A = this chain, B = another copy of it.
Amino acid sequence: MTDNSSRRDFLKVSAVAGVAMSLGASGEQAHARRGKRLPYGANAKRLETVRIGFVGIGGMGGAHFRNLLRIPGAEIRAICDIKESKIKRALNWVAKAGKPTPEVYDRGETDFERMCERDDLDLVFNATPWQFHVPICLAAMKNGKHAATEVPAALTRKDSWKLVDMAEKTGLYCVMMENCCYCRPELMVLNMVRQGVLGEVMHAECGYMHDLRGVKFSRGGEGLWRRDFATKIKGNFYPTHGLGPVAQCMNINRGDCFDYLVSMSTPSRGLQDYASRLKPDDPRRNEKYIQGDVNSSLIKTKKGYTIVLQHDCNLPRPYSRINIVQGTKGIFQGYPDRVFIEGRSPGHKWEEADKYYPEFEHPLWTKHGPTGKGFGHGSMDYIEDYRLIEALRTETLPDMDVYDAASWSCIVEMSQISLENKSRPVDFPDFTRGKWKTNKPLGIIGA
């Protein structure tokens, strides 16, 4: 049995049955409202060394893994993957770094459960296919470990609630690793917003526009599983890359809260067109994709501000996350990065964002940008991992919490419900249970 077919079987059997979207239910009713709840992270203790179990050491997992090997205070005690080649590669990295050999968990797709039962781990970090994120995070917290997961943390509101409930039941952290929150321009914008340079933030635009046809049809890596979601999910199944940074600028869950969303998709053409160019006997030619090529959503916040969110990964186009943050005094727009500030920029003219780095470079980038170079997506993956370990070692709240993970991720389901219902509004759950009204905004993190 090839890796490919075993992965695909899993998708058919386990994920679709267990983790697939229950589109009718909002999840609000289903999640456990009763039972003891703790303040988020109440059981987090200051850790000298963060002992880590790592699940899924593929493309993105490998990047995190190598970062963790060189972040002070991080210690990888256990690793878990279904592919021998990935395990070997990881052990090789460990050996080269001169670190102790971690224990290996390679007995199939649920072996992470056995790993989570160890008593010498503080954190379970996973970078697995999307359907594993929730089960692994739940297993980690249930067994007393903090959880960190790649994006999206969950695919439905119900599963998002499960993460919130488990985090509040255990008092542990559940962090979605949204690396784009640590990208250089995004960090500068956050810094500018915190300093009031853009005024009252009224509107933002963001998205994930990335021609992934080659990746989705590759014979390895994400090609083994990512394309399959396009046969099952119509909506925006990858909302967090663009959304995370602007949600931080807009104080989502910390002074404001997503209220409702409307969503609309184009027909599905890109993947079908691509498949039609494969060899005549390629079985992928028979796959039927339902995901609209371009998905556009509008999000309203409780305070009335707006966000345009897009997903566009199946058509030929250059990369963009849009990255517009617009306030009453100025605006930042990405791709290319540019700034306009009233009374400072020349009349009606953009300035190159580069001009503003000397004044508004984010302190995290000043400190870690040079160190992280060459380690995954510029330095942002390194800074992201560094910040997580730093939070655990200093007993401070990680920059992103389980409420962020839940509210940024549940759009996967919500966008689909809206677009299947003539773009009617779909309400966000308030995962903070009203705490967004009193939670303090994220500061200039790391400063």
Partner-B contacts on A (CB < 8 A): 200, 202-203, 211, 260, 262, 264-267, 269-270, 273, 293-294, 296, 298, 300, 303-306, 308, 312, 315-319, 326-331, 336, 340-342, 348-350, 422-425
Contacts and interface: CB of A to CB of B under 8 A. Distances in A.
Most chain B CB within 10 A, of A294, A300, A342, is at: A294
Contacts of A200: 269
A305 B268 CA distance: 10
Contacts of A300: 264, 423
A264 B306 contact: yes
A428 to B, nearest CB: 13
A200 B316 CA distance: 12
A267 B304 CA distance: 6
Contacts of A202: 266-267, 269, 293-294, 315
Contacts of A348: 211, 318-319
Nearest to A301: B266
Q: What are the 9 closest A-B residue pairs judged by CB atoms, nearest first?
A: A316-B342, A203-B294, A202-B266, A264-B298, A262-B262, A262-B423, A267-B304, A317-B331, A422-B425
A298 B266 CA distance: 11
A266 B203 contact: yes
Contacts of A267: 202, 303-305
A345 to B, nearest CB: 8
A203 B266 CA distance: 7
A264 B202 CA distance: 12
Nearest to A297: B298
Given A260-B422, A315-B328, 19 more contacts: A202-B266, A202-B267, A202-B269, A203-B293, A203-B294, A262-B264, A262-B423, A264-B300, A266-B304, A267-B304, A294-B326, A296-B306, A315-B326, A316-B340, A317-B331, A317-B340, A318-B349, A336-B336, A424-B425
